[in-house]
């Protein structure tokens, strides 16, 4: 996408604006961009919809999806869910639990809500301390350098800005099936008043797998319905199988190669009809079927901002739209939809536009995790991606073992680790792990991959004993060698 980049030093002399930067959306990317731009001396404003745990087209909150109705509250529920199995495991470690242990969903929900309220306040203070002006209301673009904010009382305010940054994120979508109004999305799932004893989850991605783990761990009967053979499409196939095996072993009912066709309200709950003619009954049906960029109400057509077929804002490698004064970061661009990536994009934007440091986000070797129980975490290429991209042979190293904790607790659940290595250069192309503490371990491995570490350097690193992490530096035997399959070598 060729276009001229307009940075702060290129604004025509004598042009007066209310702000150097106006950000629409105060989620992770928007707040980061606003704060860093202000640190470079820019006069910055940001607008955000009023706060509520469950979003809508007119409700949001400072902190955005991750803080209010995404990663943070979800991780709190993952912690809460994990204690049930921990208590069971504790019995073989000598803990005599004579009384029945009950789970109080409403207490956890209250604690979760208190925490996101606290974080919402922290994000507001971060903006204030950086000198960023916060407007509460809905923002839309009415010109290349003009934003209109509709306040809570309906009054409209108009502001001019040298640069406009769109950081409005995305929203959960629901499938178009009869009875769809009986289902919920992850927004509502994080704020249910009553704990669901029976749950059906449609979807095979992060959110579906995580909620299956959460609710099952808290005592719910969970059915996970997904269209593919395995959940987590796009991840390493071997690790997908490990996650599926773990879910099933912990009691989640898997329904692969299945879709839902209808939901029907009954006296006994929600009757769920599958495309195989199965009937399931649930207290809650969660649609975890993807998210769509929040662009519909921004009035982008008024200034000609280009969108793709999914409604995401098209940007170049600097997060610049086709309109010189308008930029976009985060999920609204549908590039790599993770909170830390939005933070990176916001930082690069601020450096490029106000810091005289043109900076492109680097999407290589981004680590990420699925907070299933136990979690899956990866960095770099999956085996399938490596095979697709490689010009030479690949070496795959794997290790499957019973974690030390399980040897006493008696839990039959393997930890699996994997390294994918370029046979010619010895460079480690990808690492993955499914097991306790996987995200904490892979975060460190990500630094090594970012630095271009070789398998020999992994092997020469002294391990921490006894730990699961040491397995990454003691995998000496090649599990399999994958030939280049006649792919032509390129220089």
> Where is the binding site for NAD(+), in residues?
203-210, 290
Q: How far apart are CA 105 and CA 110, in angstroms?
A: 9
Does residue 355 contact residue 40 with C-beta atoms inside 8 Å? yes
Respond yes or no: is residue 465 known to be catalytic: yes
What does residue 50 show for φ and ψ, rounded to 5 degrees? -60, 155
Catalytic residue chosen out of the listed positions 163, 255, 320, 465: 465
SS3 (DSSP) at 340: helix
Q: How far apart are CA 399 and CA 472, in angstroms?
A: 9
**How many CB atoms are closer than 10 A to CB 234?**
10
CB atoms within 10 A of CB 215: 25
Q: Which tokens in the block code for residue 246?
A: 């773990």
By the 8 A CB rule, do 380 and 217 touch? no
Torsion angles phi and psi, residue 34, rounded to 5: -65, -50
Structure tokens at 54: 């469950």
Find the length of the chain: 491
In angstroms, the CA 130 to CA 41 distance is 10
In the annotated binding site for FAD, the residues are 75, 139, 168-170, 331
E strands in 446-489: 480-482
- Pairwise CA distance, residues 336 & 352, whole Å: 20
Please say whether the dihedral angle defined by the alpha carbons of residues 23, 25, 26 and 29, taken in this order, is positive or negative. negative
Catalytic residue set: 465
């Amino acid at each position: 996408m060729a276009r001229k980049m307009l940075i702060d030093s290129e604004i025509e002399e004598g042009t007066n604006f209310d702000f150097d930067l106006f950000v629409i959306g105060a989620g992770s990317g928007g707040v980061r961009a606003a704060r860093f731009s202000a640190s470079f001396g820019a006069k910055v404003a940001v607008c955000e919809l009023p706060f509520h745990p469950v979003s809508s087209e007119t409700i949001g909150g400072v902190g955005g999806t991750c803080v209010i109705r995404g990663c943070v509250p979800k991780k709190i529920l993952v912690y809460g869910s994990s204690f049930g199995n921990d208590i069971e495991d504790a019995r073989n470690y000598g803990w005599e639990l004579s009384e029945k242990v009950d789970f109080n969903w409403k207490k956890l929900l209250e604690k979760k809500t208190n925490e996101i309220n606290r974080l919402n306040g922290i994000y507001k203070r971060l903006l204030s301390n950086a000198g960023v002006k916060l407007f509460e209301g809905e923002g839309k673009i009415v010109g290349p350098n003009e934003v209109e904010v509709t306040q809570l009382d309906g009054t409209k305010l108009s502001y001019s800005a040298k640069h406009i940054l769109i950081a409005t994120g995305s929203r959960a979508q629901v499938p178009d099936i009869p009875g769809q109004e009986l289902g919920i999305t992850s927004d509502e799932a994080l704020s249910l008043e009553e704990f669901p004893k029976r749950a059906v989850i449609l979807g095979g991605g992060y959110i579906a797998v995580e909620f299956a783990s959460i609710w099952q761990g808290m005592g719910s009967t969970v059915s996970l319905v997904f269209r593919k053979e395995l959940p987590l499409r796009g991840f390493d196939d071997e690790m997908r199988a490990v996650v599926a095996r773990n879910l099933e072993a912990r009691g989640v009912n898997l329904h692969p190669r299945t879709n839902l066709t209808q939901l029907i309200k009954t006296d006994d709950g929600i009757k769920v009809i599958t495309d195989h003619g199965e009937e399931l009954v649930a207290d809650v049906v969660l649609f975890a079927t993807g998210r769509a960029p929040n662009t519909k109400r921004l009035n982008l057509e008024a200034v000609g901002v280009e969108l793709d077929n999914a409604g995401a804002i098209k940007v170049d490698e600097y997060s610049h739209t086709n309109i010189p004064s308008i930029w976009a970061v985060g999920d609204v661009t549908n590039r790599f939809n993770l909170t830390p990536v939005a933070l990176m994009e916001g930082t690069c934007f601020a450096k490029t536009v106000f810091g005289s440091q043109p900076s492109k986000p680097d999407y290589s070797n981004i680590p990420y995790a699925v907070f299933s129980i136990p979690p899956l975490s990866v960095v770099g290429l999956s085996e399938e991606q490596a095979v697709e991209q490689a010009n030479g042979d690949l070496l795959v190293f794997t290790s499957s073992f019973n974690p030390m904790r399980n040897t006493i607790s008696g839990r039959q659940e393997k930890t699996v680790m994997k390294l994918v290595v370029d046979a010619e250069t010895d460079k480690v192309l990808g690492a993955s792990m499914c097991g306790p503490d996987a995200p904490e371990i892979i975060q460190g491995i990500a630094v090594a991959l970012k630095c271009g570490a070789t398998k020999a350097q992994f092997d020469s690193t002294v391990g921490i004993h006894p730990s699961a992490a040491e397995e990454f530096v003691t995998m000496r035997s090649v599990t399999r060698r994958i030939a280049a399959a006649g792919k032509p070598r390129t220089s």
